[in-house]
Amino acid sequence: MTWHATVLTLFPEMFPGPLGLSLAGRARDEGLWNLDAHDIRAHGLGRHRNVDDTPFGGGAGMVMRPDVIADAIASHRPAGDPRPLVYLTPRGRLFTQADAERFAAGPGLMLLCGRYEGLDQRIIEASGAEEISVGDYVLSGGEPAALVLLDACLRLLPGVMGGAESAEEESFAGGLLEYPHYTRPAEWDGRPVPPVLLSGDHGAIRAWRRTQAEDATRLRRPDLWAAHLSRRISGRQSPQDMTGSVATASAGP
């Protein structure tokens, strides 16, 4: 089954954007996934296709109307559509690698991209949309966040990346950041490659990579390190934790 993404946005021309290039673009051409982006303004009201209004209670900015968003969702989400509905918002729960794996394992996604001050809360509740943020910062709209989320999911689809082992060793796959990488030349600008990587001792290399991953996680992401220690204490280590495979980054509101 083809993995299907639908995006509701005021700027459908932003899609597929970078997702139409490189491995994701090739996979799309091969039919492994597809995407349709629809203009929310097509469901706007009046001669000017208005999609927003001033907020009740006062305040700066405009709020996207619930009736307009509801019509857009109904027009592009058939009855019984099993795909999750995700609203990209800085108020949402932080997007994780586990979310990407969950979404990639399903039939696809419908993504809601807000603008202005965001959506009226009533349509968020009525639609059952999952509120997700790709990072602790604010963007001009949900479109860049949607591209980030989709990229994180698409690279996990069978046949897109082609290297299951590579995916297993990326940042976050085992709850740790990824170890550093080196390639030729063996010495550059007076900086040699760590000798263990040239030793041919695969056990020593795995141990070195494990230590590097743990050190990076402890120093750069104390939140991930605390969760990693908690799994150790509880005995709920993942297969990656046990073997020393660690995982590369995703990002993103």
Which residues participate in the annotated binding site?
A: 114, 134-139
Question: Which position has the token pair 């091969």?
Answer: 30
* Cα-based angle 26, 4, 251 (whole degrees, multiple of 5): 70
Binding residues for S-adenosyl-L-methionine: 114, 134-139
Among candidate residues 98, 96, 43, the one with its CA nearest the CA of residue 70 = 43
What's the rounded Cα separation, in Å, for the pair 146 and 192?
40
169-182 b/e (C-beta count within 10 Å ≥ 16 → b): bbbbbbbbbbbeee
DSSP state at residue 131 = E
What's the rounded Cα separation, in Å, for the pair 112 and 122?
14
Strand pairing class (52-53; 33-39): unpaired
- Bridge partners of residue 110, in order along the sequence: 6, 85
Among candidate residues 164, 156, 28, 145, the one with its CA nearest the CA of residue 90 = 145
Among candidate residues 21, 15, 69, 68, the one with its CA nearest the CA of residue 37 = 15
C-alpha of 88 from chain center: 11
